[in-house]
A and B are shown apart, each in its own frame.
Chain A
C-alpha cells in the first residue's frame, strides 16, 4: 500500500468511528427518553471530530483519560459498543459490571484510564501515568481530555505545571464547546483561546477547529510526534459545540436557536463526508452502506445489552479491594 492508501484507510476508519459515535449517542438519547437508561448522560453529538481526530493520531498502546462526556472517547479509542450499551443499562456484561454507568464507562485494556464524574480530575491521573511511562523509558504517551469549564479547576493547573517541569509525555486536549453546563466561557475566563494558557506553564498550545477532522488529526499528529520524542507536554484546544444539552433533559435556555443552528451547519460529519468525497475516498452509496452497517452494529449492541443478565446483588460487595496482599 502506498502512503496515500494508508492515509485513506485511516480516514475511512475515522469516518466510521465518527458515525458510530453519532449513531450510538442518538440511540442512547432515544433509550433514555424511553426511560430505559438511568442516571446522568452527557452526549458527545457534535464533537465527534475531536475524539476521533485525536485518537486517530495515537497508537493503540497509548493511554487516554476521559471525562463525564466520555462515550465518544471510548469509541474513538476502540471501545466495544456492546459492552458500552450494557454498562449504560447497568448489566453484568457492561464495562464496569453495572457499577459505573455513563460517567465511568472505561476500558483499561485499550488504555483508557477512566472516565470521570469529577470535572478536571483526570488530569493529575494522566500526569501520573505519564510519569510512570517516563520512568519505564516507554515511548507510549498519555492524552488527557478535559473541557473548557474544567480548565478553571485547580487540579488542571497543578497537573499542567507538573507535566511541564518533568517534561512528561502528556498531550492535553481541551474540548472547548463554549459552555460548562449553562455557563458560557466568556463569563468565566478572560482569554478566548484557552491554548494561550500553555505559555504560562512553558509549553506550546495550539487552537484548532474541532469540527474539522483533518485539522484536528494533522495537528495532533505533529504534537504527538513532539510529545513522544520526550520534549514534554503540549496543549491542544479544539473549538467545538455540543448539539444537545449538557445532559439529557437540559432545556438549554442559556443559548440561542441561532447559535445552535449556526454550529449545526458546521457539523463535523457532513464536513468530513464532503471532504472524503472530494478526495474520492468515499462515494454516496458507500456512505449509506457504512451508516446501515453501523446502525446494525448498534442494534446488536442494544440487543446484547437487553439480553444480558443483571449483576447479582451480592456482587455489590466485590471489586473494592484486592483480596490478596
Chain B
C-alpha cells in the first residue's frame, strides 16, 4: 500500500515520516517513530492510555488520524519533564509526585494520565482539588491503583508547582 509522507511537530521537533494514510497518530508514534510511551489499551477511545496533547489539549491518539495532526503541536509523555525548568530535577513535578506516592503500579495507563493531568494543572494554574482531578481524569482508566494515590499525587504536584507563585503573591 502506498504510504503518505507526514510532517509532524512532536515535542518541539519536526519529524518526517512515511505511513499508510489511514494510520492513527498512535500507530505512527509507536510503530514509525518509536515513541512508545503512548499506549494502546483498546484502540477505540475507551481507556485513555494513548492520551497525548495537541495544541495543549488532551487528545486520544488512537482516534486521531496522523495526517490530521500535521501542522499542530503534538506533545507526548516523552516530552514531559525535558523542559528547561525541570531539567535540574530530572523530571516533571507530576512524575516526581507519582513516584513518591507510588501512583503508578504497572505504569501502562500512567503516560496517558500524566498528559491529562498536566493539561489540567496548566489550565488551572493553581493547586487543584481532588474532585477537579477526578473529573479531569475520568476518561483515563487505571485498573491497578483504585485511583487513590493518583489523585493524591496530582494534588500534591499542583501544590508544589504553584506554591512558589503563592509565596510571591502572598
Interaction A to B: no
Interface residues, chain B, CB within 8 Å of chain A?
Answer: none
Interface residues, chain A, CB within 8 Å of chain B?
Answer: none
